[in-house]
Structure 1
Amino acid sequence: MSSSRLGLRLAACLLNISEARRKNIVENIAKAALLEKNGQTHPEVSVLNIFSDRDYNRSVITIAASVDDLGNSVLAACLEAFQSINMELQEGVHPCLGAVDLIPIYPLSGVSVEECGAVARSLAESLLLHVPGCSLFLFGEADLPEKRTLVQRRKQLGWFTRRDFSTLEPDLGAAPARRCGLTGIGASPYVMDCNVTIDSQDLAVGKEIAAAIRGSCVNGLKGVQAMAFPHEGKIEIACNVESFEDQEATETSEESQYMAFSVLGDHFSYVSPHYIEAQVKKLASDRGIGTIRRALIGFTPQECKNCAEYAIRESIGEFWRIRGGVFM
């Protein structure tokens, strides 16, 4: 049954928090998203997935809900996270600036990107009211009128290298408090996370491969942002895979270079995870090394929509449990 027949207007938040080594803390943050103010489980909210990486000390919690309910659910999860995570003590190889590092809102079905931007801006105002010391930067549809992308904002703020955020200037809120740090909040078409591990410990080689597949490279992959990190004794090429508008998008197979999907009549495409893996494998092979595995952090856009519809139709709040959430 389609979401339109269900009468649902769905959006998702892939909440990025700077904690992965205390599983109980991460799960408590996820569970907070499911509760209404009266303590009852909200019937139109589901946590679809929890992905935690110990080396990165970072978790991504996928929260899906009716667009009218998503803001309150994400707010509840953030309040729990800010109480539980102290950036003064946080350690991990993945870049981060905040205890709640990133709050991206994505449309899934029956919702526009602009409406998700309004949800993000409203959520930003709520966070400032409820979290003393909360500092925010905006991106995408929440960053009006410029609508600067997350990549642009991260470069401006030195997110890729900075750990001292005392001199940062937030868009909203006071100067970042050492405990909370700086949180990014915004909205855009769906962004997928896809990581490929190469059989090497040479970070320089990993950085070469990451640079070669970035969309900003002449022969790179459109919409792909890539970094290389030490990971479990090897090197992981971590990719953010952005969806982009495509007026001629058609349904494609997983083996194609691009995958297509539509939201509210708008057509989008993104690079296939299989194609990303194949390109990394080729580039690694050219350097005499192989690849070990590929990890999709959560879902493709289509999978996220389908799982959200099912979980909410069946009132499965802790969907990640039956899906088998991954803790690494």
Structure 2
Amino acid sequence: MASSRLCLRLAVCLLNVSEARQRDIVERIAKAALWDKAGQKQTQTTVLNIFSDYDYNRSVLTLAAPVETLGNSVVTACTEAYDLIDMEHHDGIHPCLGSVDLVPIYPLSESVSLEECGRVARDIAEKLSQDVPDCSIFYFGYADQPLKRNLVQRRKEVNWYKRTSLNVNEIKPDVGAVISLRYGLTGIGASPYVMNCNVTIDTQDLTLGQQIANAVRGANVGGLCGVQAMAFPHEGTVEIACNVESFTDETSSSLAAERKECISYFIQGKEYLYFSPRSIERQIKKLATSHEVATIGTALVGFTPQLCKSLAEQAILKGCGEFWKTRQTITM
């Protein structure tokens, strides 16, 4: 068992699709990842988690596999999603531009490099352009060569944060000549692991939520390094949705002060850190309390990188492709 574990060089895709209200469609996409185009079972692929949000009308599927074969699973899942989701009929409060909205590839095993994940991402885009000729793609991170522009920058360039409908004449994709209104625009790339952590505050005051999101955002003074945050109305409250990026001592201006609130892991011998979900929850609770508002729950969209790696090893070694059926939404 131990020698088998050592042979697994794992990577993961947190596949974001623009559908959450029809569970059967989301599960068909998940199951598609477990088979290749020839109908053969992908025995070393596992779908660890499905996180769906009705208001957002968005689902995040956690697909893990050896880095050498992950791309094949992602392609079959994306192809199924393109076939089942029509962006012309999409309705949800979360920003999105594509039926397959985001395809990020992250290394899980320390021996898997970011450059290798970037090549996997570009290979996924090339195969999708062949299998779904009308799809359109932009690159980010280590797939965006040679610039390596990050996801936030690329999303700003295509107006992802503000657009509710897609003007196909305004955007030139990296792959695909004309953007299809049915498929929309997909972001494909690679980076160190990005965790998603959502904290709910007990108010309907979206302006307050936006102030709190702005305060924790890493790009702002006093914010948390690596944290991207937005506020959304959600089930009669406000949710602070945080993307939690990994960072290094090269990108943090106050690493000594931040390290005690962070968790570390390694990619090819280099240390990466991220703010723990607990520390993010504490910071948002502190800010909300100063306005006499309580926090009422925190949810992880998937897993921390360490837990993701551990569960992927367990699931693959046991041959459990539909691992998500054994899991429930992780709350804190």
TM-score (norm 1): 0.94
Residues 175/67 of structure 1: CA separation in 2 closer, same or farther (3 Å cut): same
Alignment of 1:205-284 (within 5 A): 205-246=208-249, 256-284=260-288
Amino acid at match of 1:164: S
Q: d(CA) in 1 for partners of 2:69 and 2:232?
A: 36
Amino acid at match of 2:121: A
Pairwise CA distance, 1:164: 2.8
Q: d(CA) in 2 for partners of 1:37 and 1:99?
A: 20
Aligned match of 1:84? 84
- Secondary structure of the 1:172 match is coil
- Secondary structure of the 1:239 match is strand
Aligned match of 2:41? 41
Q: d(CA) in 2 for partners of 1:35 and 1:257?
A: 40
Contact 2:216–2:283 (Cα < 8 Å) also in 1: yes
Amino acid at match of 1:155: K
Q: d(CA) in 1 for partners of 2:17 and 2:37?
A: 22
Q: d(CA) in 2 for partners of 1:267 and 1:226?
A: 24
Residues 281/135 of structure 1: CA separation in 2 closer, same or farther (3 Å cut): same
Contact 1:256–1:272 (Cα < 8 Å) also in 2: no
Q: d(CA) in 2 for partners of 1:24 and 1:56?
A: 17
Identity of aligned residues (%): 60
Aligned match of 2:254? none
Contact 1:63–1:74 (Cα < 8 Å) also in 2: yes
Alignment of 1:185-196 (within 5 A): 185-196=188-199
Please tell me whether residue 305 in structure 1 is matched to residue 306 in structure 2.
Answer: no
Pairwise CA distance, 1:64: 0.1
**What is the total number of aligned residue pairs between the two structures?**
320
Alignment of 1:106-125 (within 5 A): 106-109=106-109, 110-125=111-126
Residues 3/14 of structure 1: CA separation in 2 closer, same or farther (3 Å cut): farther
Pairwise CA distance, 1:246: 4.1
Consecutive unaligned residues of structure 1, counting only runs of 5 or more, are 248-254
Q: Which of residues 174, 189, 196 is equivalent to 2:177?
A: 174
Amino acid at match of 2:16: N
Amino acid at match of 2:27: E
- Secondary structure of the 2:11 match is strand
Pairwise CA distance, 1:2: 6.4
- Secondary structure of the 2:87 match is coil
- Secondary structure of the 1:145 match is coil
Q: Which moved more, 1:136-145 or 1:30-39?
A: 30-39
Aligned match of 1:291? 295
Pairwise CA distance, 1:325: 5.4
Residues 189/33 of structure 1: CA separation in 2 closer, same or farther (3 Å cut): same
Please tell me whether residue 204 in structure 1 is matched to residue 207 in structure 2.
Answer: yes
Please tell me whether residue 149 in structure 1 is matched to residue 153 in structure 2.
Answer: no
- Secondary structure of the 1:147 match is coil
Q: d(CA) in 2 for partners of 1:3 and 1:29?
A: 32
Q: d(CA) in 1 for partners of 2:41 and 2:328?
A: 21
Please tell me whether residue 103 in structure 1 is matched to residue 103 in structure 2.
Answer: yes
Please tell me whether residue 28 in structure 1 is matched to residue 28 in structure 2.
Answer: yes
Pairwise CA distance, 1:171: 1.3
- Secondary structure of the 1:205 match is helix
- Secondary structure of the 1:14 match is strand
- Secondary structure of the 2:282 match is helix
Runs of 4+ with >2 A deviation: 1-6, 36-41
Contact 1:46–1:319 (Cα < 8 Å) also in 2: yes
- Secondary structure of the 1:88 match is helix
Two-structure CA RMSD over aligned residues (Å)? 1.7
- Secondary structure of the 2:122 match is helix
Contact 1:256–1:275 (Cα < 8 Å) also in 2: no
Alignment of 1:39-78 (within 5 A): 39-78=39-78
Amino acid at match of 2:178: A
Q: d(CA) in 1 for partners of 2:35 and 2:82?
A: 17
Q: d(CA) in 2 for partners of 1:214 and 1:105?
A: 23
Contact 1:18–1:59 (Cα < 8 Å) also in 2: yes
Contact 2:75–2:124 (Cα < 8 Å) also in 1: yes
Residues 204/3 of structure 1: CA separation in 2 closer, same or farther (3 Å cut): farther
Q: d(CA) in 1 for partners of 2:275 and 2:158?
A: 27
Q: d(CA) in 1 for partners of 2:19 and 2:201?
A: 25
